Structure 1
Amino acid sequence: MSRIAVENKTQLGQVLLSRGIVTAEQIEKALAEQSEKGHRKLLGELLVEMNYCTQNQVASALAEAYGVPYAQVSPKICDARILETLPREFLEEHIVLPLFKVYQVLTVAVSEPTNVFLMDEIERISGCK
């Protein structure tokens, strides 16, 4: 079963701040917006909407916070045989992109790396780890 250690994760704002991408004031403004207007949006979404950073910067910072690799990928770089490892509908619904497979270990790019249920489902459907 795939697991990501979320108990030791760093806060997104701390990572963006340490990288010099946003200021403490910008984080405070986004958090204030979040609480004042009852936003159900995540901090990263608000920071992007407020033009304080880009989606790629947020994604990269989240990957660092969760201790997982980050890469910008495209279906064009994938081997069609690997794409067939999982049903197309599943790939589209869950925003999953199989990248490569070595010795029954499937490496995938996912939009939700902390979703352990998704990781388990990928293992079950593909028959790979």
Structure 2
Amino acid sequence: MNSPSLGARKKIRLGDLLVEHGIIDDVQLRKALASQKQNGKKLGHILIENGFTSEGEILTLLSKQLGMPLIDLANYRFDQSVVKLLPETYARRYRAIALERSAKGILVGFSDPTDIFGFDQLVRLLSQPVQPAIVRESELLAAINKIYKNPASLSKTAGELGQ
């Protein structure tokens, strides 16, 4: 059984989705899109920075729309053997963390569940089906920093990311 590709899903425009669900209004969306055009940041980050919505509201909505579980990493019990299936370089680059292994494949938490390229790269790297889940970026980065805290690993990662 192949992993469901994120690309096979209907293209979701975050701004339109948030307006449709009454989380933000058209004026806030237009302001955020104008800001995005100027600075190139992701729309979700701009909406949060401007206080129009919260990371929790965005992730909860995306979880429902995409049919992916939203996982709280703050109190998650990580299985080191599963986490280490994903090298630190890839975890940082694609903002992802391997969480569980099952008959369906590997459950991977993504801070950006719409990153189709990152998803496809991890499917290739792991050579098995990837079941995507959504996680908070702040919790993901804290988990990555804690799990991959080996200094030798950090310098290797810095060098690889610089390439």
- Could you state the TM-score of these two structures normalised by the residue count of structure 1? 0.72
**Aligned with 2:122: secondary structure?**
helix
What's 2:50 paired with?
A: 50
1:14 aligned onto 2:23: no
User: Paired residues, what number?
Assistant: 126
Per-residue CA deviations over 1:30-59 (Å, capped at 9, x if unaligned) read: 234445xx2312322221111111122223
- Aligned partners of 2:35, 2:127: CA distance in 1, in Å? 44
The structure-2 alpha-carbon separation of the partners of 1:112 and 1:47, relative to structure 1 and needing over 3 Å to count, comes to closer
The answer to whether the 8 Å contact 2:95/2:110 transfers is: yes
The structure-2 alpha-carbon separation of the partners of 1:12 and 1:6, relative to structure 1 and needing over 3 Å to count, comes to farther
**Aligned with 1:77: secondary structure?**
coil
The answer to whether the 8 Å contact 1:97/1:108 transfers is: yes
Displacement after TM superposition at 1:20 (Å): 2.4
1:69 aligned onto 2:71: no
5+ long unaligned stretches in structure 1: none
Q: Which runs of 4+ in 1 moved over 6 A?
A: none
The structure-2 alpha-carbon separation of the partners of 1:103 and 1:34, relative to structure 1 and needing over 3 Å to count, comes to closer
- Aligned partners of 1:120, 1:5: CA distance in 2, in Å? 9
Displacement after TM superposition at 1:106 (Å): 0.9
5+ long unaligned stretches in structure 2: 130-163
Displacement after TM superposition at 1:96 (Å): 1.5
**Aligned with 1:113: secondary structure?**
coil
